[in-house]
Structure 1
Amino acid sequence: MTDGTDEPMVFETVLDAPPEKVWRALTIPEYLARWLLPIEAQPLTFSGRQEGLAERIDWTLVAEEPNRRLTYRWRESGEGAVQDAAESLVTFELDPLAGEQTLFRLTHTVPVRAANDNGVAMMMAA
């Protein structure tokens, strides 16, 4: 039986920078736009048109632990978005390593919708 979520996608790499520097790249809009997607407005809204992604990706901050963990709710919209796409959670985790390095972990969790789901639960959540 499923718990309502799919297996998350997890990506890990070691970065040659301390967690504080990586945190700035995740939280300062000008820096974030350099490596992720161009930011159009606040709250965080990214434009993925040039990268072949959804026209808009809206992010809402869910939780943060400075220099350690950051979680956003992500929803695609506009041209190129998956029809009836559910919101997903994107979590960045930073673990300090020796030598001013950081273990960077990105986890993307997409809720699984049952085959007979007619969207009532999502309407009730709103």
Structure 2
Amino acid sequence: MITDDNALVFECSLDAPPEKVWRALSIPAYLESWLKPTDDIELSVVTAEENKSLTYRWREAGAGAAQGVEDSLVTFGLTPNSEGGTWFKLTHAPMVIPAAANSNMASPMMLAA
């Protein structure tokens, strides 16, 4: 299970309704205009619940990634608020948490998506 201890979480209120935020997150041309992933980052949809929640698998390759490739999940949660806007929650969590050097685990822990 992904917990806030394993993730970067950002929350804020947006003036736009969930439907408009959803379009910004789910239409590739709109997503690229504000997210602009680099060439060594691949995004693929894992789960989607229209106007409510969207999870991408964020796959990062390159020198900075652990063992050449690093996967994580980026989840956008959208909740309508009383002012007609959206409560926005972004959670970026690793899919694999490396075992500590002094751990008895044989391999890294896999987190459930």
Give the alignment of 1:66-81 within 5 angstroms. Answer: 66-78=50-62, 81=64
Equivalent residue number for residue 15 of structure 1: 14
Query: Percentage identity across aligned positions?
Result: 48
1:82 is aligned to 2:65:
yes
Equivalent pairs counted in the alignment come to 104
Structure 1 residue 112 displacement after superposition: 0.6
Contact 2:98 2:108 in 1 (8 A): no
Give the alignment of 1:1-126 within 5 angstroms. Answer: 7-37=6-36, 46-47=37-38, 55-78=39-62, 81-84=64-67, 85-110=69-94, 111-115=96-100
TM-score under structure 2 length normalisation: 0.77
Indicate the structure with greater strand content.
2
- Rounded Cα–Cα distance in structure 2 between residues aligned with 1:12 and 1:120: 29
Q: Secondary structure at the match of 1:81?
A: coil
Change (3 A) 1:12 1:121: closer
Structure 1 gaps, min length 5: 38-45, 48-54
Structure 1 residue 34 displacement after superposition: 1.3
Contact 1:59 1:72 in 2 (8 A): yes
